Amino acid sequence: MNKLEKAFTLFDAYNKKDPNIFIWKGKTYPQEYFLALRLYEWVLKLEPNASEELLLASRSQHIGRWEMPRDSYPEGREAYLRWRRELAFFHAEKSTELMVEAGFGTETTSRVRQIILKQKIKVDHEVQTIENALCLVFLQFQYEDFYPKHSPEKVINILRKSLLKMDWKGHQHALSLKFSAEGQNYINEALKLI
């Protein structure tokens, strides 16, 4: 087993501990394990010659997310932003720890951290690729369950922000996905705002 395969094995084993369940097409999965595999697949679809660092980031972007739940922070935008920031650093630390265990050195782990922390988005091609893939995973696998639980204003605002984070390549793939009539309507409304 090479270092990349070993890291994937370690990431997957960690994410399989997620107590949250994700159901897709009648099958049940630990949520972060399922989403990490889908993120990896989207990265490969967007960037067939993806670097080792981008592939490592795709499999560990949200590693252990359940260990820092949103409800462990107060309500409100400021607390939400603090949670997101601290969560990103948690993911970067945990992925670094497992990559070192797999045999990777500082150069690789530092680059993976940059991608996980989304440093220089819109400038760094690999960071933009991971952002596109994250938005596509949300749209393909989570969006249809998400929007009925929230107000139309909130859904449209979140979609608008997601679309703004993506580039033209991400938009092309997003618009090729199939949605329910109501889900598509919200996307059309969000598109009018960008």
Distance of alpha carbon 133 from alpha carbon 29, whole angstroms: 20
Task: Place 3 in a pLDDT band, splitting at 50, 70 and 90.
Answer: very high
Q: Please state the domain extents for the chain.
A: 1-117, 125-194
Question: Position 156: which residue type?
Answer: I
pLDDT tens-digit series, residues 148-161 = 999 999 999 999 99
Tens of pLDDT, residues 25-73? 999 999 999 999 999 999 999 999 999 999 999 999 999 999 999 999 9
Is residue 41 left, alpha or beta, with left meaning phi > 0 and alpha meaning psi from -120 to 50?
Answer: alpha
Q: What are the pLDDT digits (tens) for 158-169?
A: 999 999 999 999
Q: How far is CA 186 from CA 131, 152, 157, 181, 183, in A?
A: 21, 7, 10, 9, 5
Kindly report the average pLDDT of the chain as a whole number: 95
Paired tokens of 165:
């984070």
pLDDT (0 to 100) of residue 191? 86
